[in-house]
Amino acid sequence: MRPVFYTQEVKAPNSRARAGAIHTPHGTMQTPAFIAVGTKASIKGITPAQYQELGIQSLIANTYHLYLSPGERLVEEAGGVGKFMGFSGPIMTDSGGFQVFSLGEGFGKKLSKFLPEEATREAGVAHYDEELATSHGKLAVIDEDGVSFTSHINGSLHRFTPERSIEIQHALGADIIYVFDECTAPTADYEYQKEASERTHRWADRSLKAHRRNIEKNNQQGLYGIVQGGRFEDLRIESAKTVGGMNFDGYGIGGSFSKHDILGILDKVNENLPEEKPRHLLGIGEPEDIFIGVAAGVDTFDCVLPTRNGRTGGIYTKDGKIQIPNAEYVNDFGSLDPGCECPVCKNHTRAYISHLFRTYEMLGPVLASMHNVYFLTNLTRTIRQSILDGRFEEYKESFLARYKK
Amino acid sequence: MRPVFYTQEVKAPNSRARAGAIHTPHGTMQTPAFIAVGTKASIKGITPAQYQELGIQSLIANTYHLYLSPGERLVEEAGGVGKFMGFSGPIMTDSGGFQVFSLGEGFGKKLSKFLPEEATREAGVAHYDEELATSHGKLAVIDEDGVSFTSHINGSLHRFTPERSIEIQHALGADIIYVFDECTAPTADYEYQKEASERTHRWADRSLKAHRRNIEKNNQQGLYGIVQGGRFEDLRIESAKTVGGMNFDGYGIGGSFSKHDILGILDKVNENLPEEKPRHLLGIGEPEDIFIGVAAGVDTFDCVLPTRNGRTGGIYTKDGKIQIPNAEYVNDFGSLDPGCECPVCKNHTRAYISHLFRTYEMLGPVLASMHNVYFLTNLTRTIRQSILDGRFEEYKESFLARYKK
């Protein structure tokens, strides 16, 4: 039996929306589900003891970050990322592909396409122009074999290949791991996007082989392929067909820098992915996106925004997002999101949380993050129930009519 | 009946150590007890929902800070500081005296003794040299009537008198409030210390009268007097006798900038305070201090260090304090304090918490603060049990023999 598999309970009649469950060695997630982001083996500001009351079923940690610190061997020694952080439920690790590129972009890293194929062939292994890499300081250089990149922490030089990413993810020991993929800029032209997408397919194949070679890990961890192709519908469909045909345990979609690249063509992507496998939309999960995703057949979502917004006082409510430090909330004795059943809303007012932010108390970001993660978690849970009850479209319309983007 | 009163259960045979209870309108504290510091109506990083599992019985919020933001009227409108922050247990508010002076010192505020008595008398009310105050930016100017000071936030000018401090504390609505006192520098000479101590006694009398005038609040809040006198034994004893004779609901000791001013003469201070009233040692509460305090007859303690140390990775253990971000803990899979029963130690390792600090994850300060507050809380609880069991001296010796300062 596969270590990770999907069972469907109910499919909505007029869309791809479906309710089901993803079974993993560390428990079952009921889907659709929001997967909280725990990049460095921590959902920022939230203790694992609080997960249950917030409804958090699972989190996604990051291979790039945990590789840099504390290092995958330490996490392995601790018994894997779950034991390391004190959480016994299902965990995913992203392959690090996105961060290798995005943390370059974010810090002005120069993205070099790739070195001449001949050079790579001659070297037999990874080839990178060390002078170029170190002179630019922050850089990701792609070749057929993998990516050489500098750490966003100290500029030191590192290298990921599909095999190395899988090896690190085997050490980290999450239930669901991902193939190593190349993330492209949303502005990349068709030619480059096609090249990158095809390289990602070759990397997917190498990732899968590396995973299969390790029989012990292969029995404990499920491997998801990743659909790429940027904003180009034909490339996305081609990618879904290719990766979808490779017999992964599930599929990640996305890995692009702009969600507009993918939301419009999600339905066509999922049409070409196997029905019986779980599908995760990588890094996208604002309320409006979740409805689009679920309607297109996505099972799970992750997004940093609930905690990132929370840290600066951005609060999700059924009426849209509000900035709680704003003057209008200083003497508002209602809860963050009226009617919300989360532990923050049941015990605290907008006035109090506004005060915490206005006086730089760290409890402000903590409570705001708790509420926001609950909000997204509860939204997917309510969506799931609406599918089970045969009224997903109805719920979607009523939610979106009220929610101001 | 008094809104706040003390009942004694057991007194140790050869010291002033005692176990008892402080009864307040929002519940009973079992003593000796550690009162967590919640300056701005928040124990930094800890949610009120977590207090119970950490054993937190009570907290001390601060009048100066809450007066500046969000303002005492807003807190009153919320139903008092407990309702405002979502905590239903007993709360204290410090009078603001300490902060009026210390936040000046801390930020290079010029401490002016006080203006010529004649000037004060002529003015009839508060007199301060506005030009001096605003030109120096950060300043506290004392006169017989009160203190004019600049906000540490924006330099704006404010004024506290004993009556104003009590008025603010009535609005904040804590169970236990304090008289407004003058805190002196540890280097202050005998003459100045005597003057300040005597002024503090006059302010204590005015605070008490202001409290008694408000019959409604007087029935809901207990007022503690404060013993001053700096490092001078005779002044401390004189202060204890004077303030002790004023029929407060309890007594605060300290309010100095150096704990060495008071620990050595604590026993003599308490000898001169009424036995039947609770005694709180203001702002002092490291493990070794707590043993000295309990032996000298102190019932409650507060101290910012558990949370302040916690935020930078300083962890209390039975062997002394450790710095968890240090390299030696990176691969230490033991708990923060082996044998500790706190929720952090039961679920997390030193290696994990070291990782959180080393990668700047906010969960690190949260978990460290939780453990540290539990540590002090549990220490006083264990001390209490040792008094009840008639083995306080024994426990004190065994704890201190192991604990490295």
**Which position has the token pair 């290719």?**
A242
pTM score of the predicted model: 0.92
**pLDDT confidence of residue A99:** 81
> B303: which 2 tokens?
């101290």
Nearest residue on chain A to B70, alpha-carbon basis: A355
Choosing among A39, A47, A331, which should be mutated to test the B contact, i.e. which has the most B CBs within 10 A? A47
Q: How far apart are CA A295 and CA A396, in angstroms?
A: 9
With CB atoms and an 8 Å threshold, state whether A366 touches B45. Answer: yes
| Integer Rg of chain A from CA | 21
Partner A contacted by B365 (CB < 8 A): yes
**pLDDT confidence of residue A116:** 38
Separation in Å, CA of A236 to nearest CA in chain B? 36
Choosing among A361, A367, A369, A374, which should be mutated to test the B contact, i.e. which has the most B CBs within 10 A? A361
Comparing CB atoms, the residue among B44, B351, B356 nearest residue A42 is B356
Determine the average pLDDT of the residues in B250-263.
Answer: 80
**pLDDT confidence of residue B103:** 66
Q: How far apart are CA A364 and CA A291, in angstroms?
A: 29
Determine the average pLDDT of the residues in B280-294.
Answer: 95
Closest CA to A62 of A92, A107, A86: A92
Nearest residue on chain B to A76, alpha-carbon basis: B331
**Which position has the token pair 């499919």?**
A11
Choosing among B47, B66, B77, B84, which should be mutated to test the A contact, i.e. which has the most A CBs within 10 A? B47
Contact A7, A25 (CB under 8 A): no
> Which residues of chain B have a CB within 8 Å of the CB of A370?
47
Q: How far apart are CA A111 and CA B112, in angstroms?
A: 60
With CB atoms and an 8 Å threshold, state whether A70 touches B347. Answer: no
Q: With 70 as the cut, is the pLDDT of residue A296 above it?
A: yes
Partner A contacted by B141 (CB < 8 A): no
Backbone dihedral angles phi then psi of residue B345, each to the nearest 5 degrees: -65, -30
pLDDT band at A114 (very low <50, low <70, confident <90, very high): very low
**Which position has the token pair 């007199």?**
B127
All CATH 3.20.20.105 domain ranges in chain A, comma separated: 5-303
With CB atoms and an 8 Å threshold, state whether A358 touches B49. Answer: no
With CB atoms and an 8 Å threshold, state whether B363 touches A74. Answer: no
Contact A133, A160 (CB under 8 A): no
Which of A31-40, A308-317, B248-257, B337-346 has the least mean pLDDT?
B248-257
Q: How far apart are CA A331 and CA A260, in angstroms?
A: 38
- What per-residue string of b and e applies to B271-305 under the rule 16 or more CB within 10 Å gives b? ebbbeebbbbbbbbbbbebbbbbbbbbbbbbbbeb
Nearest residue on chain A to B39, alpha-carbon basis: A361
Closest CA to A196 of A239, A258, A249: A239
Compute the Cα dihedral for B170, B172, B178, B184 and give only its sign.
negative
With CB atoms and an 8 Å threshold, state whether A366 touches B77. Answer: no
Contact B127, B115 (CB under 8 A): yes
Separation in Å, CA of B376 to nearest CA in chain A? 20
User: What is the count of residue pairs from A and B with beta carbons less than 8 Å apart?
Assistant: 119
Contact B176, B91 (CB under 8 A): yes
Comparing CB atoms, the residue among A331, A348, A361 nearest residue B77 is A331
Note every long-range contact of A287-291, with CB atoms under 8 Å and residues 24 or more positions apart, other chains counting: A287/A316, A287/A376, A287/A379, A287/A399, A287/A403, A288/A400, A288/A403, A288/A405, A289/A259, A289/A263, A290/A32, A290/A34, A290/A376, A290/A379, A290/A380, A290/A383, A291/A383, A291/A396, A291/A399, A291/A400
Separation in Å, CA of B301 to nearest CA in chain A? 23
For B121, other C-beta atoms within 10 Å of its C-beta total: 11
Closest CA to B90 of B250, B274, B221: B221
> Distance from CA of residue B26 to its chain's centroid?
19
User: Which is more confident, B221 or B154?
Assistant: B221
Question: Could you tell me the CA-to-CA distances from B65 to A354, B79, B86, B141, B332 in Å, in that order?
Answer: 15, 18, 18, 18, 39
Nearest residue on chain A to B78, alpha-carbon basis: A333
**Hey, what CATH class is A5-303 in?**
alpha beta
Q: How far apart are CA A370 and CA B366, in angstroms?
A: 13
Comparing CB atoms, the residue among B74, B347, B349 nearest residue A331 is B74
Nearest residue on chain A to B83, alpha-carbon basis: A348
Task: State the greatest distance between any 2 C-alpha atoms of chain A, in Å, as a whole number.
Answer: 69
With CB atoms and an 8 Å threshold, state whether A362 touches B365. Answer: yes
Partner B contacted by A48 (CB < 8 A): yes
Comparing CB atoms, the residue among B311, B330, B362 nearest residue A70 is B330
User: Which is more confident, B350 or A132?
Assistant: B350
Comparing CB atoms, the residue among A45, A46, A78 nearest residue B333 is A78
DSSP secondary-structure letter at B40?
A: T
Catalytic, out of B175, B181, B302, B337: B302
Q: How far apart are CA A353 and CA A232, in angstroms?
A: 44
Partner A contacted by B352 (CB < 8 A): yes
Task: State the greatest distance between any 2 C-alpha atoms of chain B, in Å, as a whole number.
Answer: 69
pLDDT band at B125 (very low <50, low <70, confident <90, very high): very low
Contact A314, A373 (CB under 8 A): no
Question: Could you tell me the CA-to-CA distances from A276 to A6, A57, A221 in Å, in that order?
Answer: 6, 21, 18
Partner A contacted by B21 (CB < 8 A): no
Separation in Å, CA of B381 to nearest CA in chain A? 24
For residue A160, the cross-strand partners are: A147
Partner B contacted by A41 (CB < 8 A): yes
Determine the average pLDDT of the residues in B341-352.
Answer: 98
With CB atoms and an 8 Å threshold, state whether B74 touches A48. Answer: no
Q: Hey, which residues of A are catalytic here? A: 94, 302
Choosing among A84, A347, A355, which should be mutated to test the B contact, i.e. which has the most B CBs within 10 A? A355
**pLDDT confidence of residue B257:** 61
**pLDDT confidence of residue A87:** 98
Determine the average pLDDT of the residues in B86-100.
Answer: 92
**pLDDT confidence of residue A264:** 85
Closest CA to A246 of A272, A221, A266: A272
pLDDT one-digit tens code per residue, A231-249 = 899 999 999 999 999 999 9
pLDDT one-digit tens code per residue, B303-316 = 999 999 999 999 99
pLDDT band at B186 (very low <50, low <70, confident <90, very high): confident
Report yes or no for ipTM above 0.85. Answer: yes
Which of A105-119, A254-268, A386-400 has the least mean pLDDT?
A105-119
With CB atoms and an 8 Å threshold, state whether A355 touches B86. Answer: no
Compute the Cα dihedral for A151, A157, A163, A167 and give only its sign.
negative
Comparing CB atoms, the residue among B42, B330, B352 nearest residue A85 is B352
With CB atoms and an 8 Å threshold, state whether A352 touches B41. Answer: yes
String of DSSP letters for A14-56 = TSS-EEEEEEETTEEEEESEEEEE-TTSS-TT--HHHHHHHT-
Closest CA to B171 of B237, B216, B208, B126: B216
> Which residues of chain A have a CB within 8 Å of the CB of B47?
343, 347, 363, 366-367, 370
Q: How far apart are CA A194 and CA A196, in angstroms?
A: 5
Q: With 70 as the cut, is the pLDDT of residue A256 above it?
A: no
Question: Could you tell me the CA-to-CA distances from A62 to A42, B13, B219, B357, B395 in Å, in that order?
Answer: 10, 59, 57, 17, 47
DSSP secondary-structure letter at B322?
A: E
Separation in Å, CA of B368 to nearest CA in chain A? 12
Backbone dihedral angles phi then psi of residue B36, each to the nearest 5 degrees: -70, 150
